[in-house]
């Protein structure tokens, strides 16, 4: 039997067209009880791993070119976020394909997919070059006074474009049907169903809880050495995906969820908004330090100077005034050295 509702619904149409009998001899829905060959499973897995390496290489080249030829602001707010979202979206879509089709069409279990998820999360954390590739994280940076409103809006735009481009590029790769897994995925994509497999309040709670825990861990390790930060975030993503995946898909990334599942049938657009946008937004607000949302800072000049995308230096003549105004700030995520630098101490 099929493990996925959309695949099962697509089987009668595919059988009538004669595609499966002609192109996919080991398709399990057509031959119940048949086990896929080891060569078939390994070929599909090897192509997917090669796809991951190709995406990583392309994004690294894009980051290098943007850093070399673009201004720091354009690189930080646009090119870096676009590359990060593109890399994250394409990898996630290919990995979800392995997770959905692999157990019954590829012969490998959930352990293989979770191992790939951990490795990919670690690679993403080490290669994003400071980009968040997540609208929730960008909003968190804005609330923590690390980025201006204009820079945050530019990041959100770049993330949306990167996720959409990643979806289109992955669909193009599937259409080439390089493996039997891609062939199956290309056939069932029009029949995709919603990733929400529970009641709407429960789904919103699950997605919001995952986002809340992820942001808490991120706030805790963001100033740590990458040797500790990258594995910690990778383990967090893997555990949360394993726990919440059967209910909502465990995206906790609005841009990624929009590109991946918003076009699927089974839930309305408002349902998707509540689960994948409002849930993470509430999590970001709840995870802000001490429960405070510093939208109106006591020291706007220092906030602008912390802007990671468009830095504005503080005039030396105003340093004493800034030291006096900002000496009581308690929610700054910056380390002691950076804080003393910005306050002129």
Q: Are residues 261 and 138 in the same domain?
A: yes
Q: Are residues 205 and 177 in the same domain?
A: yes
Owning domain of residue 40: 5-290
Contact 283, 244 (CB under 8 A): no
Does residue 65 lie within any of the structural domains?
A: yes
CA–CA distance, 333 with 145 (Å, rounded to integer): 9
CA–CA distance, 115 with 11 (Å, rounded to integer): 30
Is 80 exceeded by the pLDDT of residue 194?
yes
292 — pLDDT class (breaks 50, 70, 90):
very low
- pLDDT for 40: 54
Over residues 179-201, the mean pLDDT reads: 89
Is 60 exceeded by the pLDDT of residue 324?
no
Helix (H, G, I), strand (E, B) or coil at 107: coil
Domain stops at, among 248, 265, 290? 290
Angle between helices 38-69 and 180-188 (to 10 degrees): 80
39 — pLDDT class (breaks 50, 70, 90):
low
Q: Are residues 41 and 141 in the same domain?
A: yes
- pLDDT for 31: 37
DSSP summary character for residue 104: I
- pLDDT for 218: 92
Q: What is the CATH number of the domain that holds 199?
A: 1.20.1080.10
Say which residue, 327 or 122, is predicted with more confidence: 122
243-261, pLDDT tens digit by residue? 999 999 999 899 999 988 9
CA–CA distance, 283 with 285 (Å, rounded to integer): 5
**Owner of token pair 């995870």:** 287
The total of structural domains in the chain comes to 2
Q: Are residues 232 and 329 in the same domain?
A: no
Q: Are residues 59 and 120 in the same domain?
A: yes
Helix (H, G, I), strand (E, B) or coil at 90: helix
106 — pLDDT class (breaks 50, 70, 90):
low
Contact 135, 257 (CB under 8 A): no
Q: Are residues 218 and 260 in the same domain?
A: yes
Selection from 281, 260, 306 nearest residue 85 by Cα: 260
223-237, pLDDT tens digit by residue? 899 999 999 999 999
CA–CA distance, 214 with 210 (Å, rounded to integer): 6
Q: Are residues 244 and 309 in the same domain?
A: no
Selection from 252, 248, 67, 260 nearest residue 163 by Cα: 260
Is 70 exceeded by the pLDDT of residue 140?
yes
Domain stops at, among 266, 290, 314? 290
Let me know the angle formed at the C-alpha of 170 by 169 and 172, rounded to the nearest 5 degrees: 65
Q: How far is CA 249 from the centre of its chain?
A: 12
Does residue 295 lie within any of the structural domains?
A: no
Q: Are residues 202 and 305 in the same domain?
A: no
Within the chain, where are the H helices? 5-17, 19-23, 38-69, 72-74, 80-101, 110-127, 135-143, 149-175, 180-188, 200-221, 226-248, 254-261, 269-272, 279-287, 300-305, 319-326, 336-342
Q: Are residues 321 and 232 in the same domain?
A: no
Q: Name which of 200-204, 252-256, 288-292 the model is least confident about.
A: 288-292
114-123, pLDDT tens digit by residue? 999 999 999 9
Q: Are residues 27 and 102 in the same domain?
A: yes
Domain stops at, among 272, 290, 308? 290
CA–CA distance, 258 with 54 (Å, rounded to integer): 24
Q: Are residues 159 and 251 in the same domain?
A: yes
CA–CA distance, 49 with 60 (Å, rounded to integer): 17
Does residue 280 lie within any of the structural domains?
A: yes
Selection from 278, 332, 262 nearest residue 302 by Cα: 332
Does residue 103 lie within any of the structural domains?
A: yes
Over residues 92-121, the mean pLDDT reads: 87
Q: Are residues 195 and 71 in the same domain?
A: yes
CA–CA distance, 56 with 120 (Å, rounded to integer): 10
């Amino acid at each position: 039997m099929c493990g996925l509702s959309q695949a099962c619904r697509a089987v009668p149409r595919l059988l009538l067209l004669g595609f499966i009998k002609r192109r996919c001899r080991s398709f399990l829905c057509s031959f119940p009880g048949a086990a896929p060959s080891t060569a078939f499973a390994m070929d599909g897995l090897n192509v997917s791993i090669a796809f991951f390496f190709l995406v990583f290489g392309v994004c690294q080249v894009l980051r290098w070119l943007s850093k070399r030829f673009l201004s720091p602001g354009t690189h930080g707010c646009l090119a870096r976020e676009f590359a990060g979202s593109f890399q994250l979206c394409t990898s996630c879509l290919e990995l979800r394909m392995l997770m959905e089709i692999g157990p019954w069409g590829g012969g490998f279990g959930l352990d293989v997919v979770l191992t790939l998820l951990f490795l990919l999360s670690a690679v993403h954390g080490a290669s994003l070059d400071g980009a968040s590739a997540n609208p929730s994280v960008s909003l968190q940076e804005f609330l923590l006074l690390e980025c201006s409103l204009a820079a945050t809006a530019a990041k959100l735009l770049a993330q949306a474009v990167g996720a959409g481009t990643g979806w289109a590029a992955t669909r193009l790769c599937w259409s080439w049907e390089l493996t039997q897994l891609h062939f199956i995925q290309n056939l069932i994509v029009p029949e995709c169903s919603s990733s929400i497999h529970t009641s709407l309040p429960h789904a919103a709670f699950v997605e919001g809880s995952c986002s809340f825990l992820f942001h808490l861990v991120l706030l805790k390790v963001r100033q740590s050495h990458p040797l500790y930060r990258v594995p910690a975030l990778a383990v967090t993503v893997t555990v949360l995906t394993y726990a919440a995946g059967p209910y909502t898909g465990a995206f906790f990334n609005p841009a990624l969820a929009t590109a991946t599942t918003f076009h699927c049938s089974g839930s309305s657009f408002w349902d998707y908004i509540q689960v994948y946008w409002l849930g993470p937004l509430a999590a970001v607000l709840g995870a802000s330090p001490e429960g405070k949302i510093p939208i109106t800072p006591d020291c706007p000049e220092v906030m602008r100077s912390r802007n990671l995308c468009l830095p504005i230096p503080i005039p030396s003549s105003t340093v004493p005034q800034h030291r006096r105004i900002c000496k009581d700030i308690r929610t700054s995520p910056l380390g002691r050295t950076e804080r003393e630098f910005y306050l002129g101490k």
